[in-house]
Structure 1
């Protein structure tokens, strides 16, 4: 299909970026949303079918629950944002070659406030 300039162009996102945007919309909503509501909260020009595809993939990955609402589904995250982020961090750590090196590099990239928070969570040195 030739591009005649009449179709609004949506920039390509990095792998997983659209999933992250969809999850951010759902986390901020605080209630289940239909694909149409999610689409309305995202970048203009994004196809409805694209949003449906992303929601379907996130549901298949176990990240979303869905419930039939009329002819559509309403989606909501299975976990709150902090827990989902922690699970992603753990998955990366589990697939690292050298866990200590991965942790070391991670800690080296923390800003001072995050480093202090992590030290506080780990407890005092004994």
Structure 2
């Protein structure tokens, strides 16, 4: 995801797939990075994600539990908006993107645009 490092992205993937908020230890147990990560490393990553407003946390006893601050789709849309804003020519970017979509994605876009036009 745009704006996240590799480890932050891996942690967010775990949070997005979780059905309930997770403790640091639970995130650590699910991480499969090929590296032996320390508990404190994952705790720091989660703290950074909270500071960057990617994750929210609540205290449960002595520990925090973490959950995504927004859905994966919302985060992706926000990243796309940032790309468009930074491009200098959002119309050109959108038109180039439109040439790469599948027929199914094109149908979804048309449906979304019709819905937006009605609102």
Alignment TM-score, normalising by the size of structure 2: 0.80
Deviations 1:94-125 (CA, angstroms, capped at 9, x unpaired): 1111111111222222222112211221129x
Deviation beyond 6 Å, 4+ runs, structure 1: none
Gapped regions of structure 2 (runs ≥ 5): none
Indicate the structure whose relative CO is greater, using CA pairs within 8 Å and at least 6 residues apart: 2
Q: Aligned equivalents of 1:105 and 1:123: distance in 2?
A: 21
Corresponding residue for residue 19 of structure 2: 30
Aligned residues: 110
- Looking at CA atoms only, which structure, 1 or 2, has the larger radius of gyration? 1
Aligned to 2:95: 104
Verify: 1:41 aligned to 2:30, yes or no: yes
Is residue 2:73 matched to residue 1:82? yes
Give the gaps of 5 or more residues in structure 1.
1-14
> Matched residues in 1 for 2:103 and 2:23: separation?
40
1:1-126 → structure 2 map (5 Å cutoff)? 16-43=5-32, 45-123=36-114
